[in-house]
């Protein structure tokens, strides 16, 4: 198995800035590992809301996380801004694999890389549903051309 590597900014299709908070730091003076997952959620959901395809309060379709992972390469700290890069690695019938890189603001290489998979379900029944067309278009904007 190939060892995970930090990635360059060019590996991501969209960026948003997240401000670290005092409570994000742990006793060791850096952002606690579990907080990175909160940053992943924030970056992806902010993009979907701003793209107009996610209504967190009344939308009929919601995403449930079924898989998540993170590799850490360098510490992030408070008080700093974090640049969160996102891309879509796979679009399925009712699922999406989001891939995220977290960068200390202005840094060329990621401090962490991770992914999570959402399965989109009907809000009321919690049963998987096909991704709406507008949603797929917003996701396709986050896909990068295949290398090679």
pLDDT in tens, 26-62: 999 999 999 999 999 999 999 999 999 999 999 999 9
CA distance 6 to 142: 19
List the one residue out of 90, 88, 86, 115 whose CA is nearest residue 9.
Answer: 86
Give dist(CA 59, CA 52) in Å, integer: 11
pTM check: above 0.85: yes
Q: Please write the tens of the pLDDT for every residue from 120-139.
A: 999 999 999 999 999 999 99
Q: What is the DSSP string of 12-58?
A: -SEEEEEE--GGGB-TTSSB-HHHHHHHHHHHHHHHHHHTT---TTT
When the candidates are 3.30.70.1400, 3.40.50.300, 3.20.20.70, 3.10.129.10, the CATH number that belongs to 9-140 is 3.10.129.10
Q: What is the DSSP letter of 141?
A: T
| Domain boundaries of the chain, sorted by first residue | 9-140
């Amino acid at each position: 198995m190939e060892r995970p590597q930090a990635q360059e900014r060019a590996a991501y299709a969209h960026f948003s800035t997240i401000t670290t908070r005092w409570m994000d730091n742990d006793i060791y003076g850096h952002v606690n590992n579990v907080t990175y997952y909160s940053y992943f959620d924030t970056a992806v959901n902010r993009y979907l809301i701003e793209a107009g395809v996610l209504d967190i309060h009344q939308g009929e379709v919601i995403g449930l996380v079924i898989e998540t992972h993170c590799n850490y390469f360098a510490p992030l700290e408070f008080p700093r801004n974090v640049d969160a890069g996102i891309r879509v690695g796979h679009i399925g019938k009712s699922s999406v694999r989001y891939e995220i890189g977290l960068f200390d603001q202005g840094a060329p290489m990621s401090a962490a890389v991770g992914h999570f998979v959402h399965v989109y379900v009907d809000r009321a029944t919690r049963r998987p549903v096909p991704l709406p067309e507008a949603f797929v278009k917003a996701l396709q904007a986050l896909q990068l051309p295949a290398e090679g």
